[in-house]
Amino acid sequence: MKKSSLLLFTALLCFSGILKGQSVQDPDSTSNIQNAEYLEGDLIKFLGSNTKYPLEAAKNNIQGDVVFSFTVNKNGKLENLNALSFVHVLLYNSSLASLNLLENEWSPCKINGEPVDKEYLLIYRYRMYMNTQPPDYKKRADKLFEREKYEKALKFYDKAIEENQYDYTLLASRAKVKEILGDTGGAEEDALESERLHNEIISVVNITGIAKTVTRRVEGRQVRRF
């Protein structure tokens, strides 16, 4: 009897959303901006449940971000859909397939109550992990912040932002830490970037694959499967 490694692949759909009908106050003006909102249900839940981690991509540990831009016009219609960047065509195709399932019914962006055309970014984040869960750097950073261990908290916010550069809440949190530590320039830079992302990104969809290796006794040669 020989030991064989069996690789089990589980796709976990983790959803996070940004700018779902929220109001944003522009610090340089008195304009009140209400961002566009998808009218046919929960946008993040819909996209996440209809996006698959391509099996071939998972087998070859292909991961990365797919970034789309589109405009929601003042009549509540999505137009000018473009892929700004993607690491592999398999991830692009999977992302586009879920986007194409959307109904074209939106509440447009409004500035001071007036509907306007507005361009947004939508990001799909594909990540693969082997025998481990995704690291929760944000949770660790938040706990360190609560305990006033600001230097250590900053290091974990740095790791969290390196893992997810599109999460504006991480930048806002890091700005607070930098301010406390006396880095006013860095704090201002993070705050401005946080506001920019908050205003430009309509949603981030996390598609996470977990591969687990299981050892078992079998006759014959070693077998690896997904």
Say which residues have a Cβ less than 8 Å from residue 50's Cβ, sequence separation at least 6.
97, 98, 101
Q: What is the pLDDT of residue 115?
A: 96
pLDDT greater than 80 at residue 15: no
Q: What is the pLDDT of residue 13?
A: 45
Q: What is the pLDDT of residue 217?
A: 62
Q: 167 or 220, which is more confident? A: 167
Give the pLDDT band of residue 33 (cuts 50, 70, 90).
Answer: confident
Contact (Cβ atoms closer than 8 angstroms) between residue 47 and residue 35: no
pLDDT greater than 60 at residue 5: no
pLDDT greater than 50 at residue 22: no
Q: What percentage of the chain exceeds 70 in pLDDT?
A: 81
**Residue 118 token pair:** 């507005």
Contact (Cβ atoms closer than 8 angstroms) between residue 123 and residue 98: no
Exposed e or buried b per residue across 31-63, where buried means at least 16 C-beta atoms within 10 angstroms of its C-beta: eebbbbbbeeeebbebbbebbebbeebbbeebb
Closest listed residue to residue 164, CA positions, set 131, 195, 110, 207? 207
Angle between helices 184-200 and 168-180 (to 10 degrees): 160
**Phi, psi (5° rounding) for residue 9?**
-115, 130
* pLDDT tens digits, one per residue of 92-151: 999 999 999 999 999 999 999 999 999 999 999 999 998 888 899 999 999 999 999 999
Q: What is the pLDDT of residue 132?
A: 84
For the chain, count helices (H), then strands (E).
Answer: 7, 11
CA 142 – CA 136 distance, rounded (Å): 10
pLDDT greater than 90 at residue 221: no
3-state SS of the chain: helix, strand, coil percent to 5? 35, 35, 30
Q: What average pLDDT does this structure show over 2-19?
A: 48
Q: What is the pLDDT of residue 90?
A: 97
Exposed e or buried b per residue across 152-177, where buried means at least 16 C-beta atoms within 10 angstroms of its C-beta: ebbbbbeebbebbebbbebbbbbbbb
Which residue in this structure is represented by tokens 């504006």? 168
* pLDDT tens digits, one per residue of 180-203: 999 999 999 999 999 999 999 999
Closest listed residue to residue 19, CA positions, set 109, 114, 136? 109
Q: What percentage of the chain exceeds 90 in pLDDT?
A: 73
